Amino acid sequence: MAIKHNNQIQKNHFRKDWQTRVKLHFDQPTKKIARRKARAVKAAALAPRPVDKLRPIVRCPSIKYNRKVRQGRGFSLAELKEAGIPRLVAPTVGISVDYRRQNLSEESLAINVARLKAYKERLIVFPRKGAKHPKAGDSKDIDLSKTQTVSSISASLPIIPLAEGVTEIKKSDMPAPVEGGAYTALRKARSDARLVGVREKRAKDKAEAEANKK
């Protein structure tokens, strides 16, 4: 209920001691440096592995944003099956999996299967440390010193934005306008379709009347 008229303000809590609860961020530049150093330490610890995982290409929800593509949570089981990657092996080689996601179109399935196959071609799996014999799926005869590695998968396999859905055309390429106006033409076509039977009956009665006169 809104307060009206020039009356006393009810429940006026003006002594909250707000100065004791103010949080300042004067350490923001220092924190930025600390985060950068932490990322460098993480990348060095994970090397030669990338710091991120391979994620699918998905469309944004809602009619307003579904023209745009972005990074998804994980690949669906159907996409992994189509690409020939076992669902239990995928997380161990840097592929994120989303068991709940479903493919609602052939387009999304095809584009993500192609993304998985491109990743699979570039993937190098080194044998485990201390392993005497390489396991199935491990890369053989690979020299790390001669192999080009990347620290980020999203940089090596980026998600390229789609072209804009609306494009400009020249005025000369536009179709010729309807004579008399499109609205008038539509109304006339609708009227003609509705009055076909009435006009046929009128013409038939007129022809019969002229025939009876003779």
Confidence of residue 1 (pLDDT cuts 50, 70, 90): low
Q: Does residue 162 surpass a pLDDT of 80?
A: no
Q: pTM surpassing 0.85?
A: no
Per-residue confidence (pLDDT) for residue 131, from 0 to 100 = 66
One DSSP character per residue, the chain reads ----SS-PPSS------GGGG----TTHHHHHHHHHHHHHHHHHHHTTS-SS-B--EEEPSHHHHTT-EEE-S-B-HHHHHHHT--TTTGGGGTB-B-TT----SHHHHHHHHHHHHHHHHH---PPPTT-SSPPTT---S--GGGS---S-HHHHS--PPPPPS-----GGGSPPPPTT-HHHHHHHHHHHHHTHHHHHHHHHHHHHHHHHH-
Per-residue confidence (pLDDT) for residue 144, from 0 to 100 = 66
pLDDT tens digits for range 57-74: 999 999 999 889 999 999
Per-residue confidence (pLDDT) for residue 134, from 0 to 100 = 66
